[in-house]
Structure 1
Amino acid sequence: MANTWHEQAKIMWNHNATFWNSRSQNMWDEGSRKSIVPFFTKYVEPNSKVLDLGCGDGYGSYKLWKEGYDVSGVDLSDEMVKLCQSRLTKEQDRLSFQQADMMKLPFEDQSFDALMAINALEWAEVPIKAFNEVSRVVKPGGTLCIGILGPTAAPRANSYNRLYGESVIMNTMMPWEFEQLAKEQSLNVLDQEKVYKRGVDLKHVGSLSEDMQQALTFMTVFMLTK
């Protein structure tokens, strides 16, 4: 590629910022992300200092702030961060945004009580390096809420052209691969929130094994402790 992986990702998300913004609120309020904040609040105390990694247009960060968290949102895309900044008011003194690459975060070690990263690590050239970097800024005993696209998620098609030997900027991984990655980094898996596409009969999902449940997901959100 003419530019590095992360430069290409930045260009792509700058280009897609307006489109993302047109859909973001609905996703968090009614769609595939509506269960994430309630799941997060079950494990993270109010007033905690939270990093929202890959915050997009900032609506997820805003929802965390409304729940009483001190939230710092970061995104690779300058255009996304501009959308985030337009959301701020003078009353929101515990909500802030800045442009940053998850491979080199501008924060000291152990700066945050908790982290939320939804469909972010898949956009890292080397996910384990990104994982270690985001874990670095979370305090020992802190919480990491990380969402990974499941096998049924259409956005996984961003990596399809790798089958033709073409360069892509998305590292698709299966939920069970991420779970193994987390365990190898000595993080404990507290819980999982599974998000399914319409058409999956939830009455029968509970009788399936853990890996079969993950296989049907649009997204699996992991709650980890450091």
Structure 2
Amino acid sequence: MTESISVVVVDDDALVRAGLGLILGGAPEVRVVGDAGDGDDGVELVRRARPDVVLMDIRMPRVDGIEATRQIVAQGDPAPRVIVLTTFDADDMVLRALRAGAAGFLLKDTPPDRLVAAVRAAAAGEPTLSPSVMTQLIEQVSGQTAGPSSGGRHVVRRRIATLTDREREVAGVLSQGLSNAEIAAELYLSVPTVKTHVSRILDKLGASNRVQAAIAIHDAGSP
């Protein structure tokens, strides 16, 4: 029997929360364990419910989705995977949310089957960004001036230097937004081996998820 995936929905629009609840409730392995109307209540709900995945709106009153994501990721032990919801494709707030620790993002008009698939992927530690979207975000990073300072970049480069040759190879492919199975096929490795390498890369880079690792790798220069 497939283990169930617990989800919390955070959005200031009650209709959106209801709609997402209906969509996710139709997937037999997904359980919506609660919802909240702003980031502040969302952080507290996640602390109590400890879900596997959080669907997080970005633009909300009191505490927005960026700050709420940062607080949720900081809970650790382990932190749930946060997927941010937006009406704008790869805008500046999405990038800030990914830097804050979000595992990916979805447009609010994402078809129901893709929404459920993204929740499954996030719960499994897989990317919820397509390679094309990852490329778009990296290109956006290149034009930003809000990246890390030279000191912060130096810290990341020191961390990258601790990677083994194979980990650096995996990191380079990981930053393209590929899944574990795709990385395994690309590098002729087994999926369990890739999972081990990815886990070690995240730990060494101090990244909470693959997206943060990809952005860190780009900010510091390719591994």
TM over 0.5: no
TM-score norm. by structure 1 comes to: 0.37
Report which of the two has the higher share of helix: 2
* Larger RCO (CA within 8 A; separation ≥ 6): 1
